[in-house]
Amino acid sequence: MRRDAGLSGLEERLGHRFRDEGLLVRALTHASAIANASEQLDTYQRLEFLGDRVLGLVIADMLDEHYPEAPEGELSRRLARLVSGETCAKVAKDMGLPSHLRIGGSIRSASRATNGVLADVCEAVIGAVYRDGGYEAARPLVERFWRDRLETMRGPLRDAKTELQEWAHRHGFETPVYEEVQRSGPDHAPKFEVEVKIGGTEGGSGSGPSKREAEHEAAAGVLRREGVWKPA
């Protein structure tokens, strides 16, 4: 099969030359680029599912090696930060994925990609490399784009919602309650607006490509405002 010359640069950046280039193409293909429901297996969704697990395993292995004396709780919090949607979206940009995405039938329409889509595609590419070359190929890819992040991680390690709940209880406030106030955008690129209410003190608001991320941003905003979290 003739190789796609446009993907050669991406393979070089990833540090992996695919034996089955179709895996990489599928990892870069959003459901909106597929005309028929019967072709949905040709999108990145299943590879994203696989890549998510591979990424978690590799990062857990790297953390265990790099922080031999850290307690399990700290390792878990570091892992959560490193595999978060926010981090994966940044890595997708470092990999150069946005210029190769297939969304809505056109690579040009990839400019519509949200951070949520970029995070999913990043994991899908990891899944594709794993499927093509095994763990021996996937680990170097993850190390290439995560090693510096793992070794130089700054900022709070606690999950924002957990931290906010504990902060509220320490100060005698009620348990934070999250409410979705608005959802906008198309199905492939939604935007959620969420408010967090805390009985006894001022709440906050946040937005994101998923309800979970919007809740996190709302909680993080309150923690920063109250001086619990400092900017990273």
Is the CB of residue 117 less than 8 Å from the CB of residue 46? no
Distance from C-alpha of 184 to C-alpha of 198, rounded to nearest angstrom: 25
Taking CA atoms, 25 is separated from 42, 85, 134, in Å, by 9, 21, 18
The DSSP element (H or E) to which 208 belongs, if any, is strand 201-208
Tokens linked to 215: 């809740």
Active site residues: 52, 123
Distance from C-alpha of 86 to C-alpha of 169, rounded to nearest angstrom: 28
CA 159 to chain centre: 15
Tokens linked to 97: 């994925």
Distance from C-alpha of 112 to C-alpha of 118, rounded to nearest angstrom: 10
Taking CA atoms, 216 is separated from 110, 161, 205, in Å, by 26, 6, 10
For residue 117, which phi and psi values (nearest 5 degrees)? -65, -45
Tokens linked to 77: 């919090």
Q: What is the strand order of the sheet 177-184 is part of?
A: 177-184, 191-198, 201-208
